[in-house]
C-alpha cells in the first residue's frame, strides 16, 4: 500500500536534495532532477505544483530557475504531498473500492468514480480495512505534518556519519 504518489516521492526527493545542497539562491530543475535521480518531466511537473503551493518560486529566462520560499525547517512533508497529490490524497479506500461519499469540510462530495458499478466502501458499506486504514491514515498524516525537510536532511547526515564511523 502506498501512502502517496510517485510524484510526491519525486518532489520530496528533489526538495530534500535542494535542502542538502544549500541551493537556497536558485536551482535548475534539470540539475536537481539529474542529481536526485528523478525523470526530468516528472520533476518539472512536481515543481509546477510546488510553485502553485508557494513552496518554491520560479523565475524564467537566462539565469532563471527555482528558489525556496520557506526555510526547510518550515516545510513539512505534508505540505509537499498535498501540493503534488491534492487535498484528498488520503481519501481513497486501501482496498481500491469505490466510496459512496466522502466527508469533506462538513459536506459530502461524491467520489470521482461514483458512476462505475463496483463494490462500495463508505458510510453504509465499509470495507474490511476501513477502521484500520482510518487509524493508519491519521498516523501517516501526523508524521508527514510534523516532519520537515530539515528533519529528514538531519537524519540523512546522521546516518551518513554513522556509516563513515563504522567503515
CATH number at residue 37: 1.10.10.10
Q: How confident is the prediction along the chain (167 residues), in pLDDT tens digits per residue?
A: 567 889 999 999 999 988 887 655 678 888 889 988 999 999 999 999 999 999 998 888 777 788 888 899 999 999 999 999 988 777 776 666 655 544 444 444 445 544 444 456 555 566 777 777 778 888 988 999 999 999 999 998 888 777 656 55
The whole model's pTM is what? Answer: 0.76
Query: For the residues of 32-73, what is the DSSP string, one character each?
Result: HHHHHT--HHHHHHHHHHHHHTTSEEEE-STT-EEEESS-GG
Residue 148 per-residue DSSP state: B
Q: Is the residue at 155 inside a domain?
A: yes
Q: Is residue 128 in some structural domain?
A: no
Residue 157 domain flag? yes
In this structure, are strands 56-59 and 65-68 parallel, antiparallel, or unpaired?
antiparallel
Q: Is residue 153 part of a domain?
A: yes
Range of the domain at 77: 6-86+148-166
Judge whether 117 lies within some domain: no
> Residues 84, 5: contact at Cβ < 8 Å?
yes
> Is residue 12 situated within a structural domain?
yes
In a domain, 110, yes or no: no
The contacts of residue 38 (CB under 8 Å, 6+ apart) are 10, 13, 14, 32, 46
Q: Alpha-carbon distance 31 to 17, whole Å? A: 10
Contact 12, 48 (CB under 8 A): no
E strand segments, the chain: 56-59, 65-68, 98-99, 102-104, 107-109, 120-121
Question: How many domains is the chain partitioned into structurally?
Answer: 1
Q: Is residue 25 part of a domain?
A: yes
Amino acid at each position: 500500500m502506498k501512502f502517496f504518489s510517485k510524484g510526491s516521492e519525486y518532489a520530496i526527493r528533489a526538495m530534500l536534495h535542494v535542502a542538502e545542497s544549500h541551493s537556497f539562491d536558485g536551482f535548475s530543475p534539470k540539475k536537481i532532477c539529474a542529481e536526485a535521480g528523478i525523470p526530468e518531466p516528472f520533476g518539472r511537473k512536481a515543481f509546477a505544483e510546488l510553485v502553485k503551493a508557494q513552496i518554491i518560486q520560479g523565475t524564467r529566462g537566462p539565469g532563471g530557475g527555482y528558489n525556496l520560499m520557506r526555510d526547510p525547517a518550515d516545510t513539512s512533508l505534508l505540505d509537499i504531498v498535498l501540493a503534488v497529490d491534492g487535498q484528498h490524497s488520503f481519501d481513497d479506500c486501501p482496498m481500491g473500492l469505490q466510496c459512496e461519499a466522502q466527508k469533506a469540510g462538513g459536506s459530502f462530495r461524491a467520489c470521482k468514480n461514483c458512476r462505475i458499478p463496483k463494490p462500495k466502501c463508505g458510510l453504509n458499506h465499509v470495507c474490511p480495512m476501513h477502521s484500520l486504514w482510518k487509524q493508519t491514515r491519521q498516523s501517516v498524516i501526523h508524521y508527514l505534518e510534523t516532519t520537515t525537510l530539515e528533519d529528514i536532511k538531519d537524519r540523512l547526515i546522521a546516518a551518513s556519519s554513522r556509516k563513515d564511523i563504522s567503515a
